[in-house]
């Protein structure tokens, strides 16, 4: 089975080489991490004087979810090295900018035996933690051979993944047998992983780590970042709609709704902050804004100033948020812009506190949605589209508590009108917006505890 799997992986890689080459030379993707994907990690990873915990998070969502767990692991296992790997470049950027507790960052190896063996030899982990359900046959097999326990943390199995996995029952059962424990988000997820072949005695329900967002939301770095960006863009001086983690096909709907919104009494001064999910779409969204009559400013225009301000410390030991870092003309243009394009990675969470209303992207189009918990932590009213399949349990919990607004519509025009109406209601009805936000924060507070339960499993696996 493993031979044919590796053969298929090799042929698939060769078939996709033209695509990889195009992305590498046009969009500058893959080249910088190719060596690490082959298991060739920096020499510093070879430190075997301290035991290591290897945590893998595929992309941005898993990385953000892992923050509370990583912080708890650092406290509970201070003598261990914490190595964080990701698959995507955006996940890597977020990990490096948001996780100060890690001893090292790298990319997850391709699932060939030679690359997996190199990575395992370099990191030499005492335990491996895979976020959500990122299972690779050769990686799991090599961990088992080395008697390295593998924990699936914050495990979830979507409808699509469950149906697909059942078609490859034999292969999936073999992988399930190589996992030491599954800490699943819900009873439904636990039932699914058992149905796919995981031994019931290795499965537990830990809850969703994402609810433990309070453990990581208010770091010193995010506080400095939020303060300077607010001073630069005047985020708290007018009603602000934040559209977070938007996907291709959503910005047109958002902008149409926003332009209609500003025609309504009481909403003329509203501003919009758009944060595309992926960096390769920043320029495309800028071109879309160029085609409108809206005044907009790009966050990247202030890259040097922000970096200097966030890193700078005054003689009194306080953050140096000096206005001298931005010229008066730049500040004026930034503060009167109708739209702010947040063309940066890892900063969105710091800005939700300034929002009057938050729209969560990936939900107007069939992408499965994104995390609603970051704005909910700040008691902000949240709007999502009809496609929240990847966050079904959280969405259902929030809807049950009347803690978010979920739009319905059969086409872009209907969704745009529904979004406009929801924005108008929440921007003009302070009581409704406050109630929605408070219900959202209560949902977080009532569902905490997954971090502690997961750490206890890690401790048991390492004994």
Q: Judge whether 17-208+448-461 and 220-446 match in fold.
A: yes
Taking each helix axis from N to C terminus, what angle separates 220-233 and 328-336, rounded to the nearest 10 degrees?
A: 90
Q: What are the strands of the beta sheet with 382-384, ordered from one edge? A: 296-298, 339-341, 271-276, 240-246, 357-360, 382-384, 405-406
Does residue 155 have a pLDDT over 50? yes
pLDDT, position 216? 58
Q: How sure is the predictor about 15, in pLDDT bands with cuts at 50, 70 and 90? A: confident
For the segment 328-348, what is each residue's pLDDT rounded down to a tens digit? 777 788 899 999 999 998 899
Does CATH number 3.40.50.2000 belong to domain 220-446?
yes
Under a CB-based contact definition with an 8 Å cutoff, are residues 192 and 163 in contact?
no
pLDDT of residue 277: 93
Q: Does residue 353 surpass a pLDDT of 70?
A: yes
Is residue 334 within a helix (H) or strand (E), and if so which, with residue range? Answer: helix 328-336
pLDDT tens-digit map of 255-279:
999 999 999 998 999 999 999 999 9
Domain boundaries, the chain: 17-208+448-461, 220-446
More reliable by pLDDT, 158 or 52: 52
> What pLDDT is recorded for position 16?
81
What is the band of 312 on the pLDDT scale with cuts at 50, 70, 90?
low
pLDDT at 322 over 50: no
Give the pairing of strands 125-131 and 104-107. Answer: unpaired
Asked whether residue 314 carries a pLDDT value surpassing 60, the answer given is: no
Q: What percent of the chain has pLDDT over 70?
A: 94
Query: Cα–Cα distance between 142 and 124 in angstroms, integer?
Result: 12
User: Is 17-208+448-461 a CATH 3.40.50.300 domain?
Assistant: no
pTM of the model: 0.80
If you average pLDDT over residues 433-459, what whole number do you get?
A: 97
Flag whether pLDDT at 321 surpasses 50: no
Residues 69-119: tens digit of each pLDDT: 999 999 999 999 999 999 998 899 999 988 989 999 999 999 999 999 999
- Cα 85–Cα 91–Cα 96 angle in degrees, nearest 5: 70
Question: How much is the mean pLDDT over the chain?
Answer: 90
Q: Which residues of 137-155 are buried (b: 16+ CB within 10 A; e: fewer)?
A: bbbbbbbeeeebbbbbbbb
Q: Compute the average pLDDT of residues 424-443.
A: 97
State phi, psi for 271 to the nearest 5 degrees. -120, 160
Q: What angle do CA 88, 255, 234 make, to 5 degrees?
A: 80
Is 318's pLDDT higher than 50? Answer: no
């Amino acid at each position: 089975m493993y031979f044919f799997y590796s053969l298929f992986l090799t042929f698939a890689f060769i078939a996709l080489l033209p695509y990889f080459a195009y992305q590498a030379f046009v969009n500058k993707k893959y080249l910088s991490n190719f060596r690490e994907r082959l298991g060739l990690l920096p020499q510093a990873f070879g430190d075997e004087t301290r035991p290591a915990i290897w945590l893998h998070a595929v992309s941005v969502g898993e990385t953000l979810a892992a923050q509370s767990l990583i912080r708890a692991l650092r406290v509970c296992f201070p003598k261990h090295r914490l190595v964080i790997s990701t698959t995507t470049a955006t996940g890597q950027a977020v990990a490096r900018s948001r996780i100060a507790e890690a001893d090292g960052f790298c990319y997850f190896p391709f699932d060939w035996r030679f690359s997996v063996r190199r990575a395992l030899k370099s990191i030499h982990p005492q335990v491996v933690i895979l976020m959500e359900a990122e299972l690779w046959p050769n990686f799991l097999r090599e961990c088992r051979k080395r008697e390295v326990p593998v924990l699936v943390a914050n495990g979830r199995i979507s409808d699509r993944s469950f149906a697909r996995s059942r078609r490859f029952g034999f292969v999936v059962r073999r992988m399930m047998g190589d996992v030491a424990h599954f800490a699943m988000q819900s009873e439904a997820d636990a039932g699914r992983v058992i149905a796919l072949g995981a031994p019931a005695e290795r499965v537990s329900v830990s809850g969703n780590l994402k609810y433990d967002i309070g453990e990581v939301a208010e770091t010193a770095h995010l506080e400095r970042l939020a303060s300077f960006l607010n001073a630069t863009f005047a985020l708290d001086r007018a009603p602000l709609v934040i559209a977070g983690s938007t996907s291709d096909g959503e910005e047109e709907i958002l902008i149409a709704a926003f332009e209609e919104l500003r025609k309504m009494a009481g909403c003329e001064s509203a501003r919009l902050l758009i944060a595309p999910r992926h960096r390769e779409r920043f320029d495309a969204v800028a071109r879309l804004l160029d085609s409108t009559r809206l005044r907009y400013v790009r966050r990247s225009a202030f890259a040097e100033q922000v970096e200097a301000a966030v890193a700078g410390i005054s003689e009194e030991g306080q953050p140096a948020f000096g206005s001298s870092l931005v010229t008066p003309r730049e500040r004026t243009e930034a503060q009167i812009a109708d739209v702010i394009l947040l063309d940066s990675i890892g900063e969105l969470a710091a800005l939700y506190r300034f929002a009057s209303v938050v729209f969560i992207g990936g939900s107007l189009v069939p992408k499965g949605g994104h995390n609603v918990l970051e704005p909910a932590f700040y008691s902000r009213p949240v709007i999502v589209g009809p496609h929240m399949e990847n966050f079904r349990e959280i969405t259902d919990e929030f809807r049950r508590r009347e803690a978010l607004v979920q739009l319905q519509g059969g086409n872009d025009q209907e969704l745009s009108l529904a979004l406009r109406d929801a924005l108008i209601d929440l921007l003009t009805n302070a009581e409704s917006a406050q109630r929605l936000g408070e219900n959202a924060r209560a949902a977080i507070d009532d569902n905490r505890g997954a971090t502690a339960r997961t750490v206890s499993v890690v401790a048991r696996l390492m004994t």
